[in-house]
């Protein structure tokens, strides 16, 4: 009888030990799967996609498997991130994200800075905005986002001063100081480059500058600083912003390999913000 009880206890104890080992192994495998799982990164077609393809290469060498999801609009990348269909996206600047969160009742968060498509001031008549004279004309885009961006650019160049706190919602009515009484000509963004021969200077978006054969770095007389609020950012959710895979993605994106790739590929039309 004692022998039978002893055997039974041995069997039960062995089963418990095996179950414990099995549970521990499963947990380990679970963690491994999480770290090795593909990181789904949403980007828009074009330059962001080109950069992300290179980032994917660099990340792979660091042990990170990146899966790109390419979009052709500015809404779905955020919606799918919020709905956990993708893990992170790279395509928008912070003012857009803030407004999107407000409008859509979301809480997506900035993780890191990526690149900038800089707005610059250009001129066929002067070599510095310091050379602007009393009453000179300066053309700027007339849509709300780009007009604010142009005014912030001109404030950074000390041409004007805006009212305290207006930030990315600035309009012409928010100009607090205009010592040279500059006259602002509001035009559709695409038309601003065509006004260069008729104004002292113009604030032009990168894409329209490129169409006009202008290079933001070489041809502008003033360009947005790297800490511009319009810098494109890497965005995640509050629940995954500290994911080790996302940290590896940021490390790969902000590497010297990517900086060199961007400099050589876009030749100043896209600049790194890290």
Q: What does the pLDDT read at residue 12?
A: 39
Q: How far is CA 3 from CA 8, 11, 14, 16, 94, in A?
A: 9, 12, 16, 20, 74
In order along its 274 residues, the chain shows pLDDT tens digits of 444 444 433 443 344 333 344 433 333 333 443 678 999 999 999 899 999 999 999 999 999 999 999 999 999 999 999 999 999 999 999 989 998 999 999 999 999 999 998 899 999 999 999 999 999 999 999 988 889 999 999 999 999 999 999 999 999 999 999 999 999 999 999 899 999 999 999 999 988 898 898 988 889 999 987 777 899 999 999 999 999 999 999 999 999 999 999 999 998 889 899 9
Overall domain count for the chain? 2
Same-domain status, 141 and 206 = yes
Domain assignment of residue 150, yes or no:
yes
Could you list the residue range(s) of the whole structural domain that residue 176 is in?
120-223
CATH number of the domain at 187, please: 3.40.190.10
Spatial CA neighbour of 186 closest among 174, 175, 202: 202
SS3 content of the chain, % helix, strand, coil (to 5): 45, 20, 35
Single out the residue in 223, 240, 264 at which a domain terminates: 223
**With contact defined as beta carbons under 8 Å apart, do 190 and 111 qualify?**
no
Same-domain status, 154 and 237 = no
Same-domain status, 132 and 204 = yes
Domain assignment of residue 250, yes or no:
yes
Domain assignment of residue 30, yes or no:
no
Single out the residue in 183, 207, 223 at which a domain terminates: 223
What is the torsional sign of CA 201, 202, 206, 208? negative
Same-domain status, 91 and 162 = no
Q: How far is CA 145 from CA 7, 192, 216, 238, in A?
A: 79, 15, 19, 27
Q: What does the pLDDT read at residue 49?
A: 94
pTM of structure: 0.73
Q: How far is CA 29 from CA 18, 36, 60, 73, in A?
A: 16, 10, 21, 37
Backbone phi and psi for residue 38, each to the nearest 5 degrees, phi listed first:
-60, 140
Residue 260 belongs to what H/E stretch? helix 256-266
């Amino acid at each position: 009888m004692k022998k039978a009880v002893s055997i039974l206890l041995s069997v039960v104890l062995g089963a418990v030990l095996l179950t414990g080992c099995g549970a521990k192994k499963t947990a380990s495998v679970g963690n491994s799967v999480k770290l090795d799982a593909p990181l789904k990164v949403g980007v828009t077609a074009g330059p962001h996609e080109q950069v992300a393809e290179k980032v994917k290469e660099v990340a792979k060498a660091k042990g990170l498997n990146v899966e790109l999801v390419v979009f052709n609009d500015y809404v779905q990348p955020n919606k799918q991130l919020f709905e956990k269909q993708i893990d992170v996206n790279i395509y928008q600047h912070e003012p857009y994200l803030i407004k999107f969160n407000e409008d859509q009742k979301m809480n997506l968060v900035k993780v890191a800075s990526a690149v900038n498509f800089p707005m610059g001031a250009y001129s066929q008549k002067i070599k510095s905005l310091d050379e602007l004279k009393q009453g000179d004309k300066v053309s700027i885009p007339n849509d709300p986002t780009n007009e604010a961006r142009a005014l912030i650019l001109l404030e950074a160049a000390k041409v004007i001063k805006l009212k305290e706190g207006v930030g990315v919602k600035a309009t012409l009515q928010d100009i607090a100081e205009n010592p040279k009484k500059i006259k602002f000509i509001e035009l559709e963004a695409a038309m601003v480059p065509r006004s260069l021969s008729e104004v002292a200077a113009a604030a032009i978006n990168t894409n329209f500058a490129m169409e006009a054969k202008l290079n933001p770095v070489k041809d502008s007389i003033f360009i947005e600083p790297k800490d511009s609020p319009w810098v494109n950012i890497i965005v995640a959710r509050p629940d995954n912003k500290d994911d080790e895979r996302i940290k590896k993605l940021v490390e790969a994106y902000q590497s010297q390999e990517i900086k060199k790739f961007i400099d050589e590929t876009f030749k100043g039309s896209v600049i790194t913000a890290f």
